[in-house]
Amino acid sequence: MKYKYLYFLSIIFVYHKRVIFKACASASLFPLKPKPSKFHNKNMSETPGQNLSQKPDKLDITDIKTGLLSQEASLRIQQFGLNELEQVKPESVWSILLRQVNSIIVWILAAAAIVSFFLGDNLEGFAVIAVIVINAVTGFVLEYNARQSMEALRKLDTTPARVLRDGKIKEIPSDQVTIGDILILEAGDLIPADALILEVNQLTVDESALTGESVPSQKSTTASDEDAPLGDRHDRLFKGTAITNGNAKAMVTGIGQTTELGKIATLVSDAKRTATPLETKLDALGKVLIWVTLGMATLFLIVGFTRGQEIKQLIETAVALAIAAIPEGMSVVATVALAYGMLRLAEKKVIVKRLSAVETLGGTNVIFTDKTGTLTENKIEVQALRVAGNDFTVRLNANTEGVQTLEVVKGDQQLFHSPEVEMLSLVGALVNNAQLDSKKSDRKELGDPVEVALLSYARAAGIDLHKLHRDHKRQAEQPFSSDTRMMATMDQVGTEYFIGVKGAVEEVLALCSWKNPEERDKELEISELMAADGLRTLAFAYRQTSQKPGDDFTHDEKLTYAGLIGFLDPPRKEVVKSLIACQQAGIKVIMVTGDHPATSLKIAKQVNLVEADEQLVLTGKNLESFDFNSAPDQKKMMECRVFARVNPAQKLDMIDFYQKHGDIVGMTGDGVNDAPALKKSDIGIAMGLRGTAVAAEAADMVLKDDSFASIVHAIEQGRVIFENIRKFIVFLLSCNMSEIFVVTFAGFLNVGSPLLPLQILFINIITDVFPALALGVGKDNKKLMKSPPRDPKQPILKKSDWSGIVFYALVMTASVLGVYWYAIDELRMSPQEGNTITFYALSLAQLLHVFNMYSGKRRLFKNEITGNKFIWMALVLCILIMFAINYIPFLRQILSLEMLDLRSLELILAAGFAPVLVIQTVRLFFPIK
């Protein structure tokens, strides 16, 4: 698909009544695929009334005082389209259904069914088709709910927008906002389009969904650098972000797919899901089975031709071999095992949208995790204080009722209760416009998150906020501005006046009185160290006076310096333990965020993601110059555990880098900016509480409790499921291979046909599947989390597994064929009686073979198999079915079986129990996994 660019829209800057144009465009208007933002200068005509249907560079000018005319807005909507994200066509029902039958195993079964119909064996043909249909329907129903990945993005477009049209403020649907519209924005608004700020008053915007920064971004009209990262474009507003404080006027520069949100939507739609490791390995296993089937059938046909056997009999036997070679129940058992794992994870608040994702997470050896909301609380809190030369590190703890208390993590506990610390808390609570409900339950927080953090800290420190504001009557306020970089308030307390100031450290320090310049420089140095440590730092000052100050009350007299406060989005408490579990399990955890490098490294150290002396942090700018084919750059990529200021496209590149190195990559996240990476990764894990609907739709899993610990539970469950899948595949293949050997060896020995195709199919569906199902839902194995993840390059079955399969099959074959030969040659039974004995003997041998599936050197009577109640339930069910076949004439007739007598029953029991005794004896000397 080619890139197609329209012309660029100029930006308005107003001087009094005159409109002056400046060069500016954040990106091409409608690229079909995202490109890095670029700014261009272009002079434009000021002729009013210009028709928008003409060339884009002849667009009318927007008057900031009147906004667009309604007619002009309609013309622009026709030209540029609606302000909505492009709909991505969801995966069709037929596509989901086709995927269920598009496998090698299904093709072999379908070929066997066609041959059966051709030979007139309609019953066998219909039975094989029934197996195919059951598998397809089961997989289809369980995957149907995961076919949409973009619908959640469109939900962000449903909010109304206030614009200036025809000189009046109007509320319109957000999809009617167009290029050049003047947006009227206030606290609480969701920004409907990308825009350039024209006027601003104390504006802060929560951009965490796009950038990953938990601290709201301060906005101004000062032009940002052309190549500034998204989080540093302070004169820009972005679609889908929310205003937390202040108000503004802004002119729309990008709508729909041309917005930053739209670019991410394009990345989500372009990011292709790859086949999961389990799907790939099962497909590879199917190819192996094809060659086994073709080899055995070809060899059997060649031997039959040389002996002059009947063609029809040879073909029927070849069909029997095909049916015997394919474990028809493997797809059903794998689906049920994964579904059972889904139920277990649902109990731990993990919702799995794609079945194979459960197993994939178990094989994950690299996890990319977002910082904000994943490793941290996504809530600003006071963490560090400095007063009168004393430094403190504090932590806010909340009990089950939500009541917060202060804990001094670092610093003198006695000095913490000094008047200086109390004054700092007081200033922070007074120079504040946020609201914090005093009720302990259902607490409401309104206002700038930093100011909310100051109120929360003050209340935890023992200040009665309600009494404080009742006693302190606000008389005046100097709001924060980009020029002063401070906020100041004047309150009356009885006959006294209290002036409080908070703001940028340099500005506040300049207003304070100092004994000497060294004291001021020392505080400035400390603030820089706090900022380098990842903290957002504010300085506080105050003055108390009995004389009513003038209008410029911050400059009447010098202020008293109160101290510094550092803010940080605190790490989640359970993260440290979870990361330790990941390290023990051999999983590499990497932080990838759009936040500031220093803040990111600070959090990484706090949660023990990196060592305390670690300094390596790579940023998005670093990655732009990286050569991923260069050995030094590759080494640095593999060594780095913290990536900051990374944009969504770079996250995709990083995931692709690790995937090409053979790793199974998991990605956790909660923001819109995480959605493309969640979809691209082998296993996408979205946070359900704080996460956006976009992230949840793009992910394979959703954590309802937002707990990183749930990821560890999911990894453990994934490993258990893979181990269960491996066990039941070994069980199924050893059983099926025994059927192949029985049919093939009997043909080579020219002793008749001990098993018919329909009998083999029945054994595969009934006596194989139920024990395999029980193996698939086996108990947890805690030892799996103490070992590294399996090599993703290894097939689902190792060489040792294949050796065990062949050994098991040969033992069961020898036992069954020995009994068959004894019944025909020694006891002179009829071929039909011998066939009946072989059918029941092989069925019993396979049922009891499940007890050979335990791991390691555990005892036969005390292991994970005998402790699995589902195993016993499966055995009882299958034995009852075998009794029903023997005593119900209709079923005996369909399967061409004879009624059993006591002599036949003795032979069946001997053939069924002999393999278990032989295999257990061998395991005493040669342990088998």
Does residue 314 surpass a pLDDT of 80?
no
Task: Read off the tokens for 840.
Answer: 């029941």
In 255-360, beta strands by DSSP E: 350-352
Task: Read off the tokens for 659.
Answer: 């995937």
Q: What is the mean predicted confidence (pLDDT) over 571-580?
A: 86
| Residues facing 217 on adjacent strands | 205
User: What would the pLDDT profile of 659-684 be if each residue is shown by its tens digit?
Assistant: 998 898 999 877 666 778 888 898 88
Confidence band for 89, pLDDT divided at 50, 70 and 90 = low
Question: Known catalytic residues?
Answer: 370
Does residue 444 surpass a pLDDT of 80?
no
Confidence (pLDDT) at 595: 79
Does residue 26 surpass a pLDDT of 80?
no
Does residue 57 surpass a pLDDT of 60?
no
Confidence (pLDDT) at 857: 65
Question: Contact at 8 Å (CB) between 752 and 831?
Answer: yes
Confidence (pLDDT) at 544: 93
Does residue 53 surpass a pLDDT of 60?
no
User: Comparing 26-40, 240-254, 603-617, 763-777, which segment has the lowest mean pLDDT?
Assistant: 26-40
The one-letter code for the residue type at 450 is V
User: Comparing 441-445, 701-705, 807-811, 819-823, which segment has the lowest mean pLDDT?
Assistant: 441-445
Q: Tell me which of 832 and 45 has the higher pLDDT.
A: 832
The one-letter code for the residue type at 459 is R
Q: Tell me which of 493 and 31 has the higher pLDDT.
A: 493
Confidence (pLDDT) at 774: 87
Q: Tell me which of 320 and 800 has the higher pLDDT.
A: 800
HSE of 476, CA atoms in CB hemisphere, 13 A: 14
Does residue 901 surpass a pLDDT of 70?
yes
User: What would the pLDDT profile of 515-572 be if each residue is shown by its tens digit?
Assistant: 898 999 999 999 988 888 888 899 999 999 998 888 889 888 899 999 999 998 888 8
Confidence (pLDDT) at 488: 94
Going by the DSSP 8-state scheme, the letter that residue 852 receives in this structure is G
Q: What is the mean predicted confidence (pLDDT) over 91-116?
A: 73
Average pLDDT, the chain: 79
Q: What is the mean predicted confidence (pLDDT) over 256-274?
A: 70
User: What would the pLDDT profile of 185-210 be if each residue is shown by its tens digit?
Assistant: 887 678 889 999 998 887 888 887 67
Question: Contact at 8 Å (CB) between 236 and 205?
Answer: no
The pair phi, psi for residue 485, each rounded to 5°, is 55, 35
The three-state secondary structure class of 235 is coil
Confidence (pLDDT) at 442: 45
What's CA 423's distance to the chain center, in Å?
Answer: 45
Q: What is the mean predicted confidence (pLDDT) over 103-114?
A: 73
Confidence (pLDDT) at 750: 64
Question: Contact at 8 Å (CB) between 647 and 212?
Answer: no
Confidence band for 15, pLDDT divided at 50, 70 and 90 = very low
Rounded to whole angstroms, how far apart are CA atoms 39 and 510?
A: 37
Specify which of 304-313, 342-351, 365-374, 800-809 reaches the highest per-range mean pLDDT. 800-809
- Distances, alpha carbon 500 to alpha carbons 230, 519, 549, 567, 620, in Å: 33, 21, 12, 19, 39
In which region does residue 895 sit, left (phi positive, over 0), alpha (psi from -120 to 50) or beta (all else)?
alpha
Confidence (pLDDT) at 323: 67
Confidence band for 479, pLDDT divided at 50, 70 and 90 = confident
Going by the DSSP 8-state scheme, the letter that residue 272 receives in this structure is P
What's CA 507's distance to the chain center, in Å?
Answer: 43
Confidence (pLDDT) at 3: 32
Does residue 897 surpass a pLDDT of 50?
yes
In 24-77, beta strands by DSSP E: none
Residue 639 CB partners (closer than 8 Å, separation 6+): 616
Rounded to whole angstroms, how far apart are CA atoms 738 and 743?
A: 9
- Which residue is listed with tokens 């009617």? 176
Confidence (pLDDT) at 457: 93
Q: Tell me which of 808 and 317 has the higher pLDDT.
A: 808
User: What would the pLDDT profile of 119-154 be if each residue is shown by its tens digit?
Assistant: 677 776 777 787 778 667 766 765 554 344 334 434
DSSP-assigned states of every residue in 565-586:
EEEE-PBPTTHHHHHHHHHHTT
Burial 164-186 (b: 16+ CB within 10 A, else e): bbeeeebebebbbbbbbbbbbbe
Confidence (pLDDT) at 31: 31
Confidence (pLDDT) at 905: 92
Confidence (pLDDT) at 625: 87
Q: Tell me which of 711 and 919 has the higher pLDDT.
A: 919
Does residue 510 surpass a pLDDT of 90?
yes
